[in-house]
Structure 1
Amino acid sequence: MKQIPVRSAVPTELTWDLTPIFPDDAAFKAAVSDIQQAAKQAAELKGQLTKSGQALYKVTTTVFDLNRQLERAYVYASLKNDQDTGDANAQALSGQADNLIATVSSATSWFEPEVLGLPAADLQALIAAEPKLAAYQHYFDVLGQQRDHTLSAAEEKLLAGASDIFAASSKTYSVLSDADLKFPVVQDEDGNDVQLSEGLYGVLLQSTTPGVRKQAFEALYSVYQQFRHTFASTLSSEVKTHNFGAEVRHYGSAREAAMSANNVPAVVYDTLVKSVNAHLDSLHRYVGLRKEILGLKDLHFYDLYTPITGEPSLSYTYEEAQQEALKALAVLGPDYVANVQKMFDSRAIDVVENKGKRTGAYSGGMYDTKPYILLNWQDSLESLFTLVHEMGHSMHSHYTRTNQPYQYGDYSIFVAEIASTTNENLLTDYLLKTQTDPQVRAYVLNHYLDGFKGTVYRQTQFAEFEDYIHQQAAAGETLTADFMSQFYGELNARYYGDNLAKDPQIADEWTRIPHFYYNYYVYQYATGFAAATTLSQRILSGDVAKRDAYLTYLKSGSSALPLDVMRKAGVDMTQPDYLETAFTTFDKRLAEFNDLAHQLKK
């Protein structure tokens, strides 16, 4: 039986190197002690920032420096924990980092309320009195927009001190889903016994053998359904936390609070949901085509991921995928490619799955570290797309951090997914231009259509579910497992149409979606993918000015509001135009795939 390796058995070259952050755990613990002391000193600055422009500058830089130290410690602990969530020592380090966040938050919770307690004119006078504060002007401008939603210093301190408590539901979900759930042994296409995991589940759903797909689907959900009431409790508590935060800060809803934090107006969310629902017929056509080409009497949810054209014609080892990624991203210019190569050469990527490793993939790090990427590699086209996707995040981070000061050295979550999905679009275009075999082209088109389905349609479906349960909880409804499953099942049926069988298990899919704990994050996958469609077309036009406009977006960080950054890159996300461009591209490639798939079937 194939077993998932333990962490110690993974080759060193396939693991990330965390020593540039801290050489060892002892250095981390020393840093924790230093940060605790610095937090005490920061707390003593309360009440001083209004004295003069110089005092405001001193307090501001002290708070930013403290947060900078905190982020470094947190990144080290979280990366170490994610590489093996079952490691007791890593859990302890992560716990120390979480406690440190609460300590620092409590020690500096007075800062923003104190700034916002100043009349706008008085604050501007202090900034004008100290030239060094000009570098923080945009920060103070954005902060000023929160005047009506910031509490007193005492209240902010109370909330900051409870941050670890508010995170309990999310942490419980993560530990349960990543470390404690035990999945059964199933059989792969060759009849081999394999230990099912979230990572392997995605691979088995792409199997061309229906029995393998069905077995994996039923086995996975049999485990989640055992704990559906527990997951309902954790998700319900998380939603209550979001609603509570919105209420105490005088927002009309949790959605308004979450979007306001990123300076994104409600029209962006509403335009997305409206546009996607207006184009559900395109998804229904795709589902119907999938059912037809696969020759299935009943199309089940576990049939939505297998390539319609048969066995995957493309697979890549990790080494091969690196070379393909470099070729696909060459259109972004030599500097971009050189920085991608540095990522490959510096052990910045944790590649393969091991026992206890966090599922999925992400790009991490902070201002004073290189970007890090977590993968759970499988030799598949999907893993190549994941690598390119996360590299988009990492290059966004690299360009931002090397072109902006610390206070603007990060970027809004809203624009984060645009860089990653632009890379995915560039990879799709590269493959369609370099692959002439009809079977391969059909597979790539199928992959694109599945990616669009999974990102634009699926994430908007998630967004609708997320908004619904927040609204219902705010109205006093109890979010039981049965209540959420009933709505989720109906929503899924509306999105996919009559050609998809109503598998009872899918009503419980919400139990295994970690993003529902991220507070209105998922809609940004959909808006990001759609915006990336327009941006990738601009890059591929060969117009250097358009490419450079995109690179300027990568370098902007949070030095301007998200929508302003995107307008300069060439996309106005308050209008439906970019979404219409995306759906036009989907329909065009669906038509091309339809013709090609029928030709291959003859």
Structure 2
Amino acid sequence: MAEHKSKKREQIDNKYKWNLKAIYPDENIWEEDYKTVKNLAGQLVALQGSMGQSADALLQVLQLSDELGRKTEKLYVYARMRRDEDNAVNLYQALFDRAESLGVEVNSAGAFIVPEILTIPEEKLSVFLKENQELAVYQHFIDEILRQKAHILSAQEERLLAMAADLSMASHNIFTMLNNADIKFPIIRDEEGHEVELTKGRYGSFMESSNRQVRHDAFKGLYGSYRKLINTLGASLGSSVKKDIFYARARNYPSALEASLDGDNVPLQVYNHLIEAVHAHMEPMHRYMRVRRELLGVDELHMYDIYTPLVQEYKVKVPYEEAQQKILEALSPLGPEYAKLLQEGFQGGWIDVYENEGKTSGAYSWGTYDTNPYVLMNYDEKLDDMFTLAHEMGHSLHSYYSNHHQPYVNAQYSIFVAEVASTVNESLLIDYLLEHSQDKKEKIYLLNHYLEQFRGTVYRQTMFAEFEKIVHEKAELGEALTPELFNKIYRDLNKIYYGPDVCLDEEIDLEWARIPHFYSAFYVYKYATGFSAATAIKEAILQEGQPAVARYLEFLKSGGSDYPINQLKRAGVDLTTSRPVENALQYFEKLLAEFEELVK
């Protein structure tokens, strides 16, 4: 009988669970809202063809669409987060399926809005905006529609695409169930020789183990489980890529990548320049791997050796309450208002802290416009978990500020800027911990951790971004997407990014099969650009103080009211140049030099 099995959800103390009753006290109210949305969707469809009649008619449709969006969002978020608590609970699987289908129905009901706005002459729209002041909040929304005019289809075609959305989610949903409910991992022995069930939540701890055999067994065990499902996972990812290409071609884009970037009004060269800049700075990354091999004292540095801390005598275990306190202190440069909101999040039922049986892996921040944000964690008392908590609370406070300072139509900030707030938090935390460290070994450990964070956020996410680019390009050229092709592309990229001092175990070829972000294509590059922007903002906050804090808080409050490139410019960062990425990579090299000096 294996020891240390995952706890069941009812065994977790309620103070470590999020409070979803703040969204819906019970499922009966959820059902009432479900019926209301069905009714409102019918009302919206009935208004089709009326938007060009008058300013008031235009406003009526847009306000009804917003009301529908807000209610549908609540239904969907609640059902999804309930399911994420335990993916094996049939009740919430069913609730989520219904919410997902309802979302498709609502999108279909409102599919006429954008094409119909495009039939209204621009001069007439300008008159409408002047006639009714309540339309002012929709100015950016309308401007964005006009900008993307060439890629918006007829009302009938838009309706067909909206109806197909349910089908387009299939590959992601299949992967989610495989990855969280169906996949089974073996029992391995931990550092004390105890039999322990391998889980995705524990995998990170095992990879940081000082016992190489534990790392080896966890690595082999995890990827051995994915190998058993490799054909299904290959078909799933291949279908997701084809879905991206279908939508890009349907909307008259040259490629899936350009279709994705256009949503944020981001030029193609931003993506390509990121990859080029990282390729130009591979030497520090390879040097870091060389230092790692030397410090670990191994003839061959394997992929299961690249996460373990390099100062084996210095162990860090961070209880959850201690992590909260350190984060509060580290983020104090952001001012008392930010600190008060952070404390509210820690104490107000925003966070689901610990892993339990069937719980969705990883971490995220989510929520609705009409409720507080929420954070899902699988906290395991690692240093990395404290950084994850700071990271996700950055997202949450960004959402909080945006929701409280923008109307619903402008509240949702672009994913392009989504990683900035989270990374500013992480960056301030590492600076705080390094500044307050009096122990050489602790500083080495922290620098090692930060170099790992950088490697994971900039180098690794850029490698992911390059994988997505290559895979989509091959599919667009008609090449068959097979597990063997995915394996080869992924292996070749690992060779480029990790360099000659890393032995590429064959298991790492399969890593693509377990990356959820690949089902939201061309998302991960924003981690790298966001990290670069966050580094610049953090430096400004520490050097300038209040003026930089004020610019930053205004950025958080701006939501989706402007294009992300413009928002960052006002915060003091210009990503249309390569300078922020170059500076971040040079910062990595600087910290690496400090690390090398300390470990001599």
**TM above 0.5, one fold?**
yes
Deviation (angstroms), 1:542: 4.1
Deviation (angstroms), 1:147: 0.7
Partner of 2:240: 238
CA-to-aligned-CA distance 1:400-448 (integer Å, 9 cap, x gap): 1111111111100000001101111000100011011001010000000
How far apart are the structure 1 equivalents of 2:271 and 2:447?
A: 28
What pairs with 1:348-427 in structure 2 (closer than 5 Å)? Answer: 348-427=350-429
Say how many residue pairs are matched. Answer: 598
Q: 1:311 to 1:405 in 2, by over 3 A?
A: farther
> 2:314, 2:441 within 8 Å by CA — same for their partners in 1?
no
Deviation (angstroms), 1:227: 0.9
> 1:309, 1:597 within 8 Å by CA — same for their partners in 2?
no
Deviation (angstroms), 1:385: 0.3
AA paired with 1:471?
A: E
Deviation (angstroms), 1:128: 2.0
Deviation (angstroms), 1:583: 1.3
Partner of 1:470: 472
Partner of 1:159: 161
Q: 1:510 to 1:103 in 2, by over 3 A?
A: same
38-47 or 185-194, larger mean C-alpha shift:
185-194
What pairs with 1:77-116 in structure 2 (closer than 5 Å)? Answer: 77-116=79-118
- How does the TM-score come out when normalised to structure 2? 0.99
AA paired with 2:296?
A: L
CA-to-aligned-CA distance 1:61-105 (integer Å, 9 cap, x gap): 111111111111111111111111111001011011001101101
How far apart are the structure 2 equivalents of 1:119 and 1:301?
A: 59
How far apart are the structure 2 equivalents of 1:117 and 1:250?
A: 19
How far apart are the structure 2 equivalents of 1:128 and 1:325?
A: 47
CA-to-aligned-CA distance 1:541-565 (integer Å, 9 cap, x gap): 1421011111111111011110110
Given the alignment, which residue of 294, 318, 323 partners 1:321?
A: 323
Partner of 1:456: 458
How far apart are the structure 2 equivalents of 1:104 and 1:134?
A: 24
Deviation (angstroms), 1:122: 2.4
> 1:371, 1:394 within 8 Å by CA — same for their partners in 2?
yes
How far apart are the structure 1 equivalents of 2:250 and 2:582?
A: 38
Given the alignment, which residue of 221, 224, 237 partners 1:222?
A: 224
What pairs with 1:251-266 in structure 2 (closer than 5 Å)? Answer: 251-266=253-268
Deviation (angstroms), 1:162: 1.4
How far apart are the structure 2 equivalents of 1:93 and 1:439?
A: 50
Deviation (angstroms), 1:461: 0.2
How far apart are the structure 1 equivalents of 2:556 and 2:543?
A: 19
What pairs with 1:151-230 in structure 2 (closer than 5 Å)? Answer: 151-230=153-232
AA paired with 1:215?
A: D
> 1:305, 1:450 within 8 Å by CA — same for their partners in 2?
yes
Partner of 1:488: 490
Partner of 2:4: 2
Given the alignment, which residue of 142, 145, 151 partners 1:140?
A: 142
What pairs with 1:524-539 in structure 2 (closer than 5 Å)? Answer: 524-539=526-541
- How does the TM-score come out when normalised to structure 1? 0.98
Deviation (angstroms), 1:218: 0.2
Given the alignment, which residue of 331, 334, 339 partners 2:333?
A: 331
Name the SS for the 1:19 alignment partner.
helix
AA paired with 1:310?
A: Q
Partner of 1:560: 562
Partner of 1:51: 53
Partner of 1:20: 22
Partner of 1:305: 307
Partner of 2:584: 582
Partner of 2:514: 512
205-214 or 307-316, larger mean C-alpha shift:
307-316
Given the alignment, which residue of 29, 50, 73 partners 1:71?
A: 73
How far apart are the structure 2 equivalents of 1:315 and 1:529?
A: 26
Name the SS for the 1:552 alignment partner.
helix
> 1:298, 1:501 within 8 Å by CA — same for their partners in 2?
yes
| CA RMSD between the two structures | 0.9
Deviation (angstroms), 1:121: 2.2
How far apart are the structure 2 equivalents of 1:499 and 1:412?
A: 38
CA-to-aligned-CA distance 1:430-477 (integer Å, 9 cap, x gap): 001101100101000000000110110000000000011111111111
> 1:207, 1:311 within 8 Å by CA — same for their partners in 2?
no
Partner of 2:252: 250
> 2:333, 2:545 within 8 Å by CA — same for their partners in 1?
no
Identity %: 43
> 1:363, 1:394 within 8 Å by CA — same for their partners in 2?
yes
**Moved runs in structure 1, 4+ residues, more than 6 A?**
none
Name the SS for the 1:541 alignment partner.
helix
Name the SS for the 1:309 alignment partner.
coil
Deviation (angstroms), 1:313: 3.1
AA paired with 2:567?
A: V
AA paired with 2:388?
A: T
Name the SS for the 2:503 alignment partner.
coil
Name the SS for the 1:344 alignment partner.
helix
Structure 2 stretches lacking a partner, 5+ long:
none
CA-to-aligned-CA distance 1:469-489 (integer Å, 9 cap, x gap): 111111111100001101110
Partner of 2:289: 287
CA-to-aligned-CA distance 1:109-147 (integer Å, 9 cap, x gap): 111110122232222222222221112111111121111
How far apart are the structure 2 equivalents of 1:120 and 1:259?
A: 25
How far apart are the structure 1 equivalents of 2:255 and 2:126?
A: 31
How far apart are the structure 1 equivalents of 2:316 and 2:325?
A: 14
How far apart are the structure 2 equivalents of 1:109 and 1:449?
A: 46
AA paired with 1:389?
A: H
AA paired with 2:486?
A: M
Partner of 2:593: 591
Deviation (angstroms), 1:247: 0.1
How far apart are the structure 1 equivalents of 2:463 and 2:526?
A: 12
> 1:363, 1:371 within 8 Å by CA — same for their partners in 2?
yes
AA paired with 2:311?
A: T
Partner of 1:447: 449
> 1:208, 1:311 within 8 Å by CA — same for their partners in 2?
no
Structure 1 stretches lacking a partner, 5+ long:
none
Deviation (angstroms), 1:312: 4.6
How far apart are the structure 2 equivalents of 1:314 and 1:556?
A: 38
How far apart are the structure 1 equivalents of 2:235 and 2:242?
A: 11
CA-to-aligned-CA distance 1:477-527 (integer Å, 9 cap, x gap): 110000110111011111110000021111111000010001210100111
AA paired with 2:372?
A: K
How far apart are the structure 2 equivalents of 1:490 and 1:106?
A: 42
How far apart are the structure 2 equivalents of 1:530 and 1:213?
A: 31
How far apart are the structure 2 equivalents of 1:249 and 1:309?
A: 52
How far apart are the structure 2 equivalents of 1:401 and 1:134?
A: 18
How far apart are the structure 2 equivalents of 1:122 and 1:513?
A: 47
Name the SS for the 2:599 alignment partner.
helix
Deviation (angstroms), 1:311: 4.5
Deviation (angstroms), 1:349: 0.2
Name the SS for the 1:134 alignment partner.
helix
